[in-house]
Amino acid sequence: MASNNNNNVKIHEHTKVFPPSSTQKTTTPLTYFDIFWLRFHPVERVFFYALPNSHSHPSFFFKKLVPILKSSLSLTLKDFLPLAGNIVWPLESQEPIIQYTPNDGVSLIIAESDVDFNHVIENSPHDASLSRCFVPHLESTNSFASIISVQITLFPESGFSIGISTHHAALDGKSSTMFIKAWAYLCNKTIETEELPTLLPELKPLLDREIIKDNGLGDKFTKNWTEIITMMFPNEKGNERSLKILPFEPKLEDYVRSTFKLTREDLNKIKQMVLSKWELLDTNELTSKPPTLSSFVLTCAYSLVCLAKAIHGVEKEKEKFGFAFTVDCRARLEPPLPNNYFGNCVWGHLVDTKPLDYINEDGVFLVAKCIHEKIKMINEKGVLDGVSDMFDKFASLASEKLEMMGVAGSNRFGVYEIDFGWGRPTKVEIVSADRGLTIALAESKDGKGGIEVGLVLNNHVMNLFRTLFVEGLCIN
């Protein structure tokens, strides 16, 4: 039994899980949506599940629970075969591809932790590095990159966690959630019956990437990526065909991880505040006040303004901020893609705020208005409007020394519904939020229409953020 790099976790087994006997080599092309994320850091999520004492005893966990999770994972890979393969870049190819060969499988770690389970799942701030113990490393080298890796960790007498690292060039958040839901569904069926279960139609992935028409964007993105990588990571020059994930290192020292909740009532308060200011401050007759605002707009505007003001409050020299978010393009392409299209189908959009809007007294209104108008423009002009100058915009923002903020996850993924047969999760975290200035979203686990916001921040910044976040909701 080996220890990983953290004393809190002991590794019992490091193995590979293979799809049920498959002898067929398969290749899957990468689309321009995939190429954009080629060397981006993995998306790392962890699902924590409480268990009754009898089920969280090591003997039950290792003899019953782990074998069921393993066999159902193998069964799931039958329908999600590319996930067991690797991203490779053949010499004769202009672009990388996903390749599965019969010896390929998914890395799986079985571990045990002596950390207090209740401490790990609480929303209040705790050491940012703690959650990192429960997600596995995703292997990548110059010549190949793994697509997913999994870690199952027992917390004796308390529960277990499933940590999953996914390569963003192979699948987006919607697709990775679909895979985990498919695994959970088959795991439940494996517990219930001896017969080999099959997936529900909505959980069966559409793996055909040829249905996305390239329009020459793949070549352009590969070239643009090369330029941006050279600018951000000068040591990578001359290494343009490398598949090694770039070192977007997590921020851990003096950083804490925390989760905040916005209830349905909180969101209504923010909405009323924004719409009342819209009437007072927006004198442009061409942009009328909307009848309502989405939960996404309200959550982002409120959280981002609290975040920018907290950073500025602690580090006075940081006062310019920007925000970019990704949009699911499946229903927005011509022709639209089916909902079960599996891969990447998200595109990033910059919000047209002014750099000082986020620390403005009326910041929540200003930012909400800009996000709302950006979404309206996307709906009117198309989701790929402005694609060709996207990289130039990012480059110019980088030169302006803006603190760029982003968003991960979604309140529409339904992560708190994912039950492997022993109950729903007590906590879901996007661990990779610590690799950037990112707010991580999920639906509220009570199912009442609220939203969870996860953050990883410097200790002092988190303290101020919490004060601003809580006090801002105390409006009458």
Strand partners, 405: 323
- Report, as residue numbers or ranges, the catalytic residues: 168, 419
Whole-angstrom distance, CA of residue 150 vs CA of residue 425: 17
Strand boundaries in 357-415, DSSP class E = 403-410
Return left, alpha or beta for 344; rule: phi > 0 is left, psi -120 to 50 is alpha, else beta: beta
Specify whether the CB–CB gap between 250 and 445 falls below 8 A: no
Whole-angstrom distance, CA of residue 9 vs CA of residue 29: 38
Residue 234 CB contacts under 8 Å (≥ 6 apart), including other chains: none
Structure token digits, residue 300: 């982002």
Structure token digits, residue 338: 């089916």
Q: CA quadruple 62, 65, 71, 74: dihedral positive or negative?
A: negative
Residue 419 is classified by DSSP as -
Whole-angstrom distance, CA of residue 81 vs CA of residue 173: 18
The CA distances from residue 27 to 23, 38, 73, 81, 362, in Å, are 13, 17, 21, 10, 52
Phi, psi of 271, rounded to the nearest 5 degrees: -60, -45
Q: Which amino acid is at 391?
A: F
